[in-house]
Amino acid sequence: MTVRRRKRRAIRRKGPKRHLRRSLVIAVLVLVLMIVGIVKIPGMITDAKLRKLGYNEVQIKKIHTDRIADTVLKDQYYSEYLAQCIQDSTLRKEYISLYTKVDSSRGLSDTSLLLYNRLEDLGYEEDQLDDLFENLYDWEIAPLLVFDYQWDETEYIKDCKAHRDTNSQSSFTLDGDYLREFKNISSSKSVDGPILINTKNSLDESYVPSDLTDITTEYAASGQQMCKEAASAFLLMAKAALLNDTPFFASATYISYADQQAAYKSISSQVGADLADVYSERAGFSEHQTGLAVNISATYEDNKNLTSTKVYEWLTANCAKYGFILRYPPSKAAITDQADEAGHLLYVGKDLAQRIKDSELTYDEYYELFLASWYDQSCMPSADILNSTSCTDALQCEAGTEASPEANS
Which residues, other chains included, contact 140 with Cβ-Cβ below 8 Å and sequence gap of 6+?
160, 167, 172
The pTM of this model reads: 0.86
Query: What is the residue-level pLDDT of the chain in tens, covering all 409 positions?
Result: 455 555 555 555 555 555 556 776 666 666 665 665 555 677 788 999 999 999 999 999 999 999 999 999 999 999 999 999 999 999 999 999 999 999 999 999 999 999 999 999 999 999 999 999 999 999 999 999 999 999 999 999 999 999 999 999 999 999 999 998 888 788 888 888 899 999 999 999 999 999 999 999 999 999 999 999 999 999 999 999 999 999 999 999 999 999 999 999 999 999 988 888 888 899 999 999 999 999 999 999 999 999 999 999 999 999 999 999 999 999 999 999 998 899 999 999 999 999 999 999 999 999 999 999 999 999 999 999 999 998 854 434 443 333 333 333 3
Among the CATH numbers 3.50.50.60, 3.30.1380.10, 3.40.50.300, 3.60.15.10, which is that of 186-377?
3.30.1380.10
pLDDT of residue 358: 96
Do 259 and 248 meet the contact criterion of CB atoms below 8 Å apart? no
Each domain of the chain, given as residue ranges in start order, spans 53-106, 109-178+378-409, 186-377
pLDDT at position 407 is 35
pLDDT score of 5: 53
Whole-number pLDDT of residue 49: 92
Reported as half-sphere exposure (CB side, CA atoms, 13 A), residue 269 has a value of 6
pLDDT value for 393: 46
The pLDDT value given to residue 183? 80
pLDDT of residue 175: 96
Instruction: Compute the C-alpha angle 357/363/365, nearest 5°.
Output: 110
* Parallel, antiparallel or unpaired: strands 225-227 and 212-214: antiparallel
Three-state secondary structure of the chain: CHHHHHHHHHHHHHCCCCCCCHHHHHHHHHHHHHHHHHHHHHHHHHHHHHHHHCCCHHHHHHHHHHCCHHHHHHHCCCCHHHHHHHHHCCCCHHHHHHHCCCCCCCCCCHHHHHHHHHHHHCCCCHHHHHHHHHHCCHHHHHHHHCCCCCCCHHHHHHHHHHCCCCCECCECCCCCCCCCCCCCCEEECCCCCCCCCECCEEECCCCCCCCEEECCCCCECCCCEEEHHHHHHHHHHHHHHHHCCCCEEEEECCCCHHHHHHHHHHHHHHHCHHHHHHHCCCCCCCHHHHCCEEEEEECCCCHHHHHHCHHHHHHHHHHHHHCEEECCCHHHHHHHCCCCCCCEEEECCHHHHHHHHHHCCCHHHHHHHHHCCECCHHHCCCHHHHHHCCHHHCCCCCECCCCCHHHHC
- CA dist 275 and 253 (Å) reads 24
